[in-house]
Copies of this chain bind each other. A is one copy, B any other.
């Protein structure tokens, strides 16, 4: 019999066996790792996860309104105001009044915004590659597909 027992008595190692089977638990831990890394990656570019997401969506959907952006980001409108404020204050997007509906703003990236987004996107892409280095391309695709299916299967949808 092995003699490696009773070697480090003070810390009997905490077991989380009862939680390991829960997807919510694994998802939270994985997301916290990814989220923290993503924040570190975006910080030198003056962006956070939410502003990066908003900037990307505005770039890909020029002229969209704040309501549309909030819906796409699954963020409440009041919270989006702050995000758009910051991007506008940083000179990365513009808020143009829509002639046909003077209540709404048409959001567009500035030249500087496009430049910043390109830099940040490259950093994010290379960082994701490092994070997912342990997975094959096949596994990454599987992961994404499973995540998307969870999102769209949501039983608590309102």
Contacts and interface: CB of A to CB of B under 8 A. Distances in A.
Interface of A: 11-12, 14-38, 40, 49, 53, 56-57, 59-61, 64, 68-69, 71-72, 74, 121, 124-125, 127-128, 130-135, 139-140, 142-144, 146-156
A19 B57 contact: yes
A155 B36 CA distance: 11
Nearest to A61: B14
Given A14-B69, A139-B146, A156-B37, A27 B29 contact: no
Given A146-B142, A151-B29, A24 B11 contact: no
A142 to B, nearest CB: 6
B140 A60 contact: no
A57 B16 contact: yes
A26 B147 contact: yes
A126 B21 CA distance: 13
Contact of A56 (B18, B31, B53, B140): B18
